[in-house]
Amino acid sequence: RSLLRYIGEEGRPILLSTGASEWGDIDRSVDVLNATGSEFLLMHCTASYPTVDGEINLRVLPELARRYTCPVGFSDHSLGVEIALGAVALGAIVVEKHFTIDRDLPGGDNDISILSEELRTLVEQGTRITAAMGQKERSLTPAEKELQPIMRRSLVAAHSLSAGDVIERRNLIIVRPGTGIEPDAVDKVVGRPLQCEVEAGQVLTWDMLGKMAP
């Protein structure tokens, strides 16, 4: 680990592969890097060429981030780009992938490398997935805020009613849009008199209702 210590003390950012390592190996390496105060990213890696799907263990990615409180990446030796895209969805902010212009070239790892079109797909789809990751908070998006009144439902008159009629449950249906009284308030509506005439299918609002009879 003297090399890690040297690079860390130089203040260089480090992308550290975890290929052929166990948790204890990673623990010791991270301890060295933390002691130097260096900036580093851990690359999940299975050191086999090509890596079969059952040995990739993408679930290690979020566990690396949790254990070491650091950004994570993926050093990918699988065929195609699908596994790398899965890694992006699990939090990898860096992907290392072998690239070639011709898989028939002799020597090296050309036969497991991706071609230019696959690289383009990886970059484009990885960028899209990253944008879609968003945030952990569950809140309405601007588009949802616009659609919410249309998507939700209201209490609606099942048939025509006259002013003074006391609303019964059979007088109500629940349909879109959600611009009137919400369905959860049905118990607060049943038993109230209407203050005006309503037509079948008309959305009910609170100003149409009188007070509940004592």
Provide the pLDDT for residue 213: 73
Predicted TM-score (pTM) above 0.85: no
- Is 214 a residue whose pLDDT tops 90? no
Provide the pLDDT for residue 82: 97
What is the mean predicted confidence (pLDDT) over 120-133?
97
Provide the pLDDT for residue 126: 97
What whole-number percentage of the chain has pLDDT above 90? Answer: 93
**75 touches 17 (CB < 8 A):** yes
**β-strand pairing of 154-157 with 94-97:** unpaired
Q: Tokens 């301890």 label which residue?
A: 31
- Is 177 a residue whose pLDDT tops 90? yes
- Is 172 a residue whose pLDDT tops 80? yes
Provide the pLDDT for residue 197: 97
> What is the C-alpha separation between 191 and 182, in angstroms, rounded?
16
Q: What is the pLDDT of residues 47-63, one digit of tens each?
A: 999 999 999 999 999 99
> What is the C-alpha separation between 46 and 66, in angstroms, rounded?
19
- Is 81 a residue whose pLDDT tops 80? yes
Enumerate residues 6+ apart whose C-beta is below 8 A from 29. 1, 4, 16, 21
Check the CA dihedral 34-2-17-9 and report its sign: positive
- Is 38 a residue whose pLDDT tops 80? yes
pLDDT band with cut points at 50, 70 and 90 for residue 107: confident
List the Cα angle 107/111/114 in 5-degree steps: 120
What is the mean predicted confidence (pLDDT) over 9-37?
96
What is the mean predicted confidence (pLDDT) over 139-147?
94
Provide the pLDDT for residue 212: 85
Would you put residue 208 in left (φ > 0), alpha (ψ -120 to 50) or beta?
Answer: alpha
Check the CA dihedral 133-134-138-143 and report its sign: negative
- Is 1 a residue whose pLDDT tops 90? no
Helices 2-9 and 23-36: crossing angle in degrees, nearest 10, is: 30
> What count of residues does the chain have?
214
